[in-house]
């Protein structure tokens, strides 16, 4: 899949990841981190599957985007100490 669809998917994944994770950052940093996570996850998924054109409406693409966003937000929370616990 191209870069622009991963950004669009990242915006949606950001909303899902923010509802899953407890992120105490503002909206813009959360969205930018989630877009980065979904883009990197899409790139890694393309490398692992050997398919550089993952479909936008594929369940696997969405799982990769959300999982990548959650992982990046989790790392952000750990590095900045911004968790409720």
In the chain, where the domains are located? 3-80
What pLDDT is recorded for position 82? Answer: 58
Q: pLDDT tens, 43-75?
A: 887 788 776 666 666 787 788 888 888 888 888
CB 9 within 8 A of CB 37: no
What pLDDT is recorded for position 54? Answer: 64
* Alpha carbons 76 and 72: distance in angstroms, whole number: 6
Tell if the pTM clears 0.85, that is, is over it. no
* Alpha carbons 49 and 33: distance in angstroms, whole number: 24
């Amino acid at each position: 899949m191209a870069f622009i669809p991963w950004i669009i998917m990242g915006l949606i994944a950001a909303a899902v990841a923010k509802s899953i994770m407890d992120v105490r950052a503002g909206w813009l940093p959360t969205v930018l981190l989630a877009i980065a996570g979904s883009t990197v996850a899409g790139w890694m998924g393309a490398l692992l599957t050997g398919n550089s054109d993952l479909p936008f409406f594929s369940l696997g693409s969405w799982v990769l985007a959300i999982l990548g966003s959650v992982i990046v937000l989790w790392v952000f929370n750990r590095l900045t100490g911004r968790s409720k616990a």
